[in-house]
Chain A
Amino acid sequence: MPKRKDIHKILIIGSGPIIIGQACEFDYSGSQACKALREEGYFTILVNSNPATIMTDPNMADVTYIEPLTVEAVTEIIKKERPDAILPTLGGQTGLNLAFFLMKKGILKKYDVESIGAGVSAISRAEDRELFKKAMQEIGIGVPKSGIARNIEEGIKIGLDIGFPLILRPAYTLGGSGGSIAYNREELEASLANGLEISPVHQILVERSVMGWKEIEFEVMRDCVDNVIMITSMENVDPMGIHTGDSIVVAPSQTLTAEEYTKFVNLSKKIIRKIGITGGGANIQFAQNPDNGEIVIIEVNPRLSRSSALASKATGFPIARVATKLAIGLTLPEVLNEVTGMTTSFFEPTVDYCVFKICRFTFEKFPGTARVLNTSMKAVGEAMSIGRTFREALQKGIRSIETRRFGFGSDGRDKFDDSSLKAPSEEMIGEIKERIRVPSDDRLFYIRYGIKIGLTNNEIYELSKIDRWFIDNLREIVELEEEVKKYRNVKKDDEVKLPEELLLKTKSFGFSDVQLAFLLNSTENNVRTTRKNSKITPSYKLVDTCGGEFKAKRPYYYSTYETKDESKPSNKKKVLILGGGPNRIGQGIEFDYCCCHASYALKEEGIESIMINCNPETVSTDYDTSDKLYFEPLTVEDVMNIVDIENPIGAIVQFGGQTPLNISGALSKAGLNILGTSPDSIDIAEDRKRFQQMLKKLKLKQPENGTATSYEEAQKVAERIGYPVVVRPSFVLGGRAMEIVYDEKGLADYMAKAVEASPERPILIDKFLEDAIEVDVDAIADGETCVIGGILEHIEEAGIHSGDSAMVLPPHTLGKDTIETIKKNTYAMAMELKVKGLMNVQYAVKNNIVYILEVNPRASRTIPFVSKAVGVQLAKLATKIMLGKTLKELGFTKEKTINFVAVKESVFPFIRFPGVDAILGPEMKSTGEVMGLDTTFGAAYAKSQIAAGQNLPTKGSVFISVKNQDKRNMLFVAKKLADLGFRIMATSGTADALKSSDIDVQVLPKLHEGRPNILDLIKDNKVSMIINTPSGKATKEDELKIRSHAILYNVPLITTVSGAQASVNGIENLIKNKAVSVKSLQEYHENIKK
């Protein structure tokens, strides 16, 4: 059916900030949607609060709004733009829920906007746990015994009736948030309270547990004439009970018979029809009893999802693009299959390889949470790998997640070495079994130990419920490892004696050179040379959607060890772009944004772009972002293999975050030309000593500091520079393991648990600048000139990681002279480091003295934010500079000044990590960011808070409890709030301080003093905001309780004075002008002086 002519303007809803359960996969799908709609000639309007996305680039949609994803804001946009339709299926759960509430509030009707892709009825049938259950029963599909609860009593009744263990699943949530497993009544009550709170419709499913069953997913698509296709099946290696988003997943399913497969397909088709999707895709999750094949349905996501992004990358089928075309009334037979270029999208992709997905976790950043996986998602990122066998894909996958493992063990980083595994102690056996039974991020490795201490496939299955087929494949890897060890060298530099046939076999099993070097007591280099001498190099195969049946036009490759290479390297001028790998805290979508821009810039310069990345969620791994895509791990071996066949003129490593930077040294040693700023300059910036020399030479200030490898040394340094001090290990990103230490005891504690300190990796100690203003500067330079992209003043004081604190552009409190100094310093360092490309500097300003905290001669987290604020695509310019252009040639010689305010705010995953204290410090904890744009600081800040989910109140009671040195600064804040009509509540200490300057306060008892205390009030929704600054040193029991309750019950929580001041500013603004004002990015950019 030809595309719809009755609609012209379409509003696309993005998914907002990156949070656990909703990452850059929705930038990928949103961007594809924008392209697809414009191809068809529709006028596209986009709204997303996340500035770090490609989709919010001003050239992606006709009109782009970076505004909060709230009913209020989007209503304003609808009023202003009057779209005919809204496309909510590409913005994750956020987009879907937003559309749902716009409908509920009658906005869609009022402005007669149609929801395309998934009608509102389809949405509720899939998301409303009760309607869904009914729908499934109507078509005779099994669901686990369950009941829907709207309050705790109801829940308990249902629960006791079904029997423990119970699975609790709130409605309209994502990433299993609020979901949990209850083994007893007590847990049930707690989980119900939590779950009901988190569900936006306060509805929760209390369900019989089918933990241990197989978890199977299907991706289905349906068009308006009822053509239905299956994109792929996916089998979770981890059984039911572990969120799919945390599970290791393979595609296609490996242990289903043809008959079972057909059953699932048949059910999936019935389901997508019943749900009523008439132009789009759905992700369907089943559970299957491995003992008798019984099937129950778990859920349906009537939208693009994490899994569908994975399915797209796994098969090469562009689900988001096609879903969009279906949403506007086209049918599958009418949509071209771009991969073959000759067939249509009406077919079912088939594969001739095995796809493996594994997740990246960051438990280490949240001490105090159990390192356990369950139904509530905890992964912050994922990597995908492709191989011709499961074993090959698995080992590639493990090295792709960059946990410094190079495959399935035997890389020198195993907890237990072979000798101890040969004669395991009783408690060692106990530990191994326990860790196989209890799912965690490193269970795989314990299965390896299990195999080594002689557990059978069955024993391991019984403990883990991981299918025996997977376990046996792991066993095969271990057996080959034993084979290889027979050829161990006596001396490291002896030549490698592994017979060619065996060497080839290990490579086809996915073993990395690093693993082989370890097993053979050799070096990575020797293994590599031996390998190349005997012509054992990877051949690259195409991902072509059709198992080789048709010629593929899209150059999307993976490596394997087979006979024929399909990569056909061109003899064009080409450049490698090294991506950022899996998302993690400290390195996320911002870097993928930059890599994509590198690729766009190369296109504009007529140079072939070759992308290497292994993150399936990203735009950079979309088949039409670069001229060539290699879906490979980002290790020296895997990159050099590609270099060997492609021989590019160079590689771009400054955009992928720390990942490419970490290997850039080794790569350039191996002969790869690193474009832009030289590895030596990078070294100057990273190396403490050299960096200091540079600053001395330039007469620039740095907080007093020193390094230490022992407590004694550390003590001396601290004595010299004086407490408090900031301590951290060398070479870290995102402030990993970084702490502020206030006294000797603190220092002793830190050094005690200090991460491996050694002469080459000493502990770094800086004077901690208290109450200093932190400033981030992003600049671009070509070796002669340096232009400032933007100067961002942090809201929170120095001491709170730059990735976590809110920032404002332009600076709003810094004096002219300070800004001048900052610029001068930046220019000086850019010149000294001969920066060719991007540079980020972090300054701390105290008593008008400007200190340099660090310099990163690479793309920073704030590049997309700044680019969007000032309307200049810095990453693109930087790429062209790396290719030899000058800023003058590029016409960017003067920094932009803007006549509006842009605020960046971060979002945090505390809700995922119960028991973790929700305070900010030098270690980065945020997963994503939002942008607030408006004419005044107050308005922009308010927007940023709302967009980040911090619902600043306009009335009610505010609870204040702050540490002593904050009390004076808090007076102003409290007074202001009181004047604005808030009731102030405080604990005695703070209360006295406030009373003394006659603010009337209600005194609340300390937690142990009596009740009702603040916790009771939080539970009863009697507090609308909490201001609680941590009392410096070890956090107090009470504070921890208060803060975690605030998080749990979603009460706005502020933990810094500066944050409080800004918030008051924002609140005042909210009270003054009720309606949100919305303005498109294009409009903002127009008024920026050229």
Chain B
Amino acid sequence: MKAILILENGSCYEGISIGTAGEKIGEVVLDTAVVGYQEMMTDPANAGKILVLTYPLIGNYGIASKFNESGKCWLNALVIKEASRIYSNYQAEGSFDDFLKKEDVLSIGGADTRTLAVEIRDGGEMLGIVSTQSTRKEDLLKKVKAAAVSYKKDYIKDISIKKPMKIAGSSSCADIAVLDLGMPNSFIKQLKTLGCNLTLLPYNTSTEDILKTGADGLIISSGPENDIALPQISQTVKTLIGKIPMLGISTGHEVIAMALGAKLKRLKIGHHGVNYPAKSPTSFKGEITAQNHSFIVDEASLKDREEIAITLRNLNDDSVEEMESKSLKFISCQYYPVSPGFDEVNSIFTRFLKLIKPRFAVKKRVVSKNSEVEHAKA
């Protein structure tokens, strides 16, 4: 069965349908990572997108449940060059093909993703429509154009957990609340490694309820950008700033910025990949980071906030990668704080624990005498 992608600007990419049949509209976004197709597809931040993988050979190592970033695939559609006919890796539990069917992903194979990538680079991210049904281009084009007029994303409400959920860690470690806008499993895993006691909260939890958890710190997770739920969330966060140490991740970072009164800017093409250089403004030292965002914080709109330090910048476009404020007690990163490998933890999480440590030590004292002793040791 044929499948086609039509961009808002009218250009058209043909291929064959390798997933399920259907027709969907979404933002056409590139990801340049060579491996990690399963992780990308199950990252809630990609909800509603038409994801184009620039690496041509997909599915080679199959699918394994442990690579899921969330319960399901959130894409509206996937566009690739070639899906591998077989998979070969001792960890694989199933084929990429079955995954597409099971997750019921509208997918195009055999597309000239290189040309598509170059067009998106030059023309910017835009809406597109993927269809396996009508191949009448005019109709499809009309549909995208229509959608473009009033395109809204409203996924967070479906992605976020419905009621609070606790994940116990070690008694000697901090209690962390996570405002779940689409928190990927791999971040939770890192916090577990650190021994944190986690409480995942629905996106719309109120200021009071958040504080009621008595958590030592609050993480505002990554998730879909440009979602209609976000303004309200940033209002909540605004009331929390200074009251509880915070860590904002990617979209969470944008939420904090908005709460501080900053504006967001859309990039012509977002940062979606694993090879983005971020560098400290004060030294030559930097990190190669994984990223997945189309918006950035408009620095101009933050100018008058001296208490906020910009601790990392994107080396290519100088955009803000990391902010920190001692007085307002928060750290936030635009990039994805992925694990460096094995069971190691990204340094931003350990930095966050340091940030909340004092408060958290005090609290423990109230709880019990001997835990204080423990803490002197810990």
Interface residues of A (CB under 8 A from B): 1, 223, 225-227, 229-230, 252, 254-263, 265-267, 269, 290-293, 331, 333-334, 342-344, 346-354, 388-390, 457, 467-469, 472, 476, 541, 546-551, 562-564, 566
The A-B contact count (CB < 8 A) is 161
Where chain B touches its partner, the secondary structure class is: loop
Cα A257 to Cα B34 with chains together (Å): 10
Judging by beta carbons under 8 Å apart, are B39 and A388 in contact? no
Cα-based distance from A351 to B91 in the complex (angstroms): 25
Cα–Cα, bound, A258→B284 (Å): 28
A290 and B82 alpha carbons, distance in the complex (Å): 24
Residues of A within 8 A of B121 (CB): 548-551
CB atoms of B112 and A563 under 8 A apart = yes
Contact B274 A348 (CB under 8 A): yes
Instruction: Give the distance in Å from the alpha carbon of A257 to the alpha carbon of B288 in the complex.
Output: 19
B341 CB within 8 Å of chain A? yes
- Measured between beta carbons, the chain B residues less than 8 angstroms from A262 are 338-341
- For the complex, what is the distance from the CA of A52 to the CA of B113, rounded to whole Å? 42
1/0 per residue B53-75: CB within 8 Å of A?
01111001100100100000000
Cβ < 8 Å to A, chain B residues 344-372: 344
Which listed residue, B33, B113, B284, touches A1 by the CB 8 Å rule?
B284
How far is it, in angstroms, between the C-alpha of A259 and the C-alpha of B82 when the chains are bound? 21
The contact of A225 among B33, B35, B82, B285, by CB within 8 Å, is B285
Q: A548-B114, A564-B112 are in contact. Are A257 and B86 (CB under 8 A)?
A: no
Q: For A293, what are the chain B residues with a Cβ–Cβ distance below 8 Å?
A: 90-91
- B142: Cβ under 8 A from any A Cβ: no
B284 adjacent to A469 (CB under 8 Å): no
Contact A350 B55, beta carbon cutoff 8 Å: yes
**Cβ A388 vs Cβ B114 within 8 A:** yes
| A549 pairs with B91, CB closer than 8 A | no
Contacting residues of chain B (5-54) with chain A, CB-CB under 8 angstroms: 30, 32-36, 38-39, 54
Which of A225, A347, A354 is close to B275, meaning CB atoms less than 8 Å apart? Answer: A347
B57/A389 in contact, CB under 8 A: yes
B286 within 8 A of A: yes
Q: How far is the CA of A494 from the CA of B28 in the complex (A)?
A: 47
Closest to A265 in B: B341
- Which of B34, B61, B283 has the largest count of A CB atoms less than 10 A from its CB? B34
In the complex, the answer to whether A257 meets B117 with C-beta atoms within 8 Å is no
Given known A-B contacts A1-B284, A227-B284, A469-B60, A347 and B276 have beta carbons under 8 A apart? yes
Question: Is the Cβ of B67 less than 8 Å from the Cβ of A259?
Answer: yes
Using A354-B57, A562-B112 as known contacts, list a sample of 14 further A-B pairs with CB atoms less than 8 Å apart, ordered by residue number in A: A225-B285, A227-B285, A229-B288, A255-B60, A258-B39, A262-B338, A333-B277, A348-B274, A350-B32, A354-B56, A546-B32, A549-B117, A564-B115, A566-B118
Residues on B with beta carbons closer than 8 Å to the beta carbon of A350: 32-34, 54-55, 273-275
Tell me whether B84 is interfacial, beta carbon within 8 Å: yes
Q: Mark B254-296, 1 if CB is under 8 A from A, else 0.
A: 0000000000000001000111110100011110100000000
Within 8 A of A (CB), among B78-135: 81-82, 84-91, 112-115, 117-118, 121
Q: Are B341 and A263 in contact, with the CB atoms below 8 A?
A: yes
Q: A225-B285, A255-B61, A389-B82 are in contact. Are A351 and B269 (CB under 8 A)?
A: no
Of A334, A541, A546, A564, which is within 8 A of B284 by CB?
A334
What is the bound-complex CA distance between A255 and B58, given in angstroms? 10
Is the CB–CB distance between B61 and A257 below 8 Å?
Answer: yes
On whether A266 and B54 interact (CB within 8 A), knowing A255-B61, A256-B61, the answer reads: no
A811 to B288, CA, bound (A): 60
In whole Å, how far is A354's beta carbon from the nearest beta carbon of chain B? 6
Tell me the nearest residue of chain A to B284, going by C-beta: A331
User: Cα distance A353–B114 when bound, in Å?
Assistant: 9
Contacts of A258 in B (CB 8 A): 33, 35-36, 38-39, 67
| Closest 7 pairs (CB-CB, A-B) | A266-B341, A258-B36, A548-B117, A348-B275, A547-B32, A469-B88, A547-B54
CB distance from B82 to the nearest CB of A (A): 6
Please determine whether B114 and A333 come into contact, CB atoms closer than 8 angstroms: no
- Decide: A468 near B88, CB < 8 A? Known: A263-B341, A352-B117: yes
Instruction: Say whether B61 contacts A548, CB under 8 Å.
Output: no
Q: A331–B279 Cα gap in the complex (Å)?
A: 12
- Least Cβ–Cβ distance between A347 and chain B, in angstroms: 5
Q: Does B316 reach chain A (CB closer than 8 Å)? A: yes
Bound form: Cα–Cα A227–B60 in Å: 31
Q: How many Å lie between the Cα of A342 and that of B316 in the bound state?
A: 8
When the two chains form their complex, are residues A388 and B56 in contact, meaning their CB atoms are under 8 A apart? yes
| Cross-chain pairs A/B with CB under 8 angstroms, 9 sampled | A225-B284, A333-B315, A350-B32, A350-B33, A350-B55, A389-B57, A547-B54, A548-B121, A550-B121
Contact A549 B269 (CB under 8 A): yes
What is the bound-complex CA distance between A351 and B344, given in angstroms?
27
Asked if residues B288 and A333 are in contact (CB atoms below 8 Å), the reply is: no
Q: Which of B32, B118, B339, B340 has the most CB of A within 10 A?
A: B118
Q: Identify B85's interface contact among A1, A472, A564, CB under 8 A.
A: A472
Alpha-carbon gap, A690 to B33, bound state (A): 60
A549 in contact with B115 (CB, 8 Å): no
| Given A389-B57, A547-B55, A550-B121, CB of A352 within 8 Å of CB of B113 | yes
Complex CA distance for A834 and B154, rounded to whole angstroms: 78
Question: Given A333-B277, A348-B288, are A254 and B30 also a contact pair (CB < 8 Å)?
Answer: no
Bound CA span A348–B288, Å: 8
For residue A541, which residues in chain B have a CB less than 8 angstroms away from its CB? 114
- Across the interface, which residues of A come within 8 angstroms of B54, CB to CB? 350, 352, 547-549
A234 CB to nearest chain B CB (Å)? 12
Q: How far is the CA of A351 from the CA of B36 in the complex (A)?
A: 14
Q: A227, B286: Cβ atoms under 8 Å? A: yes
User: With the chains together, A780 CA to B315 CA distance in Å?
Assistant: 52
Q: Which residues of B contact A259 (CB under 8 A)?
A: 67
Q: CB distance A346 to B277 under 8 Å?
A: yes
**In contact, B55 and A257 (Cβ under 8 angstroms):** no
Which residue of chain A lies nearest to B56 when distances are taken between CB atoms in the complex? A388
* Chain A residue nearest to B66 in the complex (CB): A259
Contact B315 A562 (CB under 8 A): no
- Which A residues are in CB contact (< 8 Å) with B35? 256-258, 261
Contacts of A292 in B (CB 8 A): 90
Please report the C-alpha to C-alpha distance between residue A256 and residue B91 in the assembled complex, in whole angstroms. Answer: 10
Give the docked Cα–Cα distance between A265 and B339 (Å): 12
A344 lies within 8 A of B315 (CB): yes
**Chain B residue contacts of A346, Cβ below 8 A:** 277, 279, 286, 288, 315
Contact partner, B55, options A291, A334, A351, Cβ 8 Å: A351
Name the distance in Å between B331's Cβ and chain A's nearest Cβ.
22
From B90, which residue of chain A is reached at the shortest CB distance?
A291
Known: A255-B88, A258-B36, A469-B86. A344 touches B273 (CB 8 A): no
* B115 in contact with A562 (CB, 8 Å): yes
Across the interface, name the chain A residue whose C-beta is closest to B59: A469
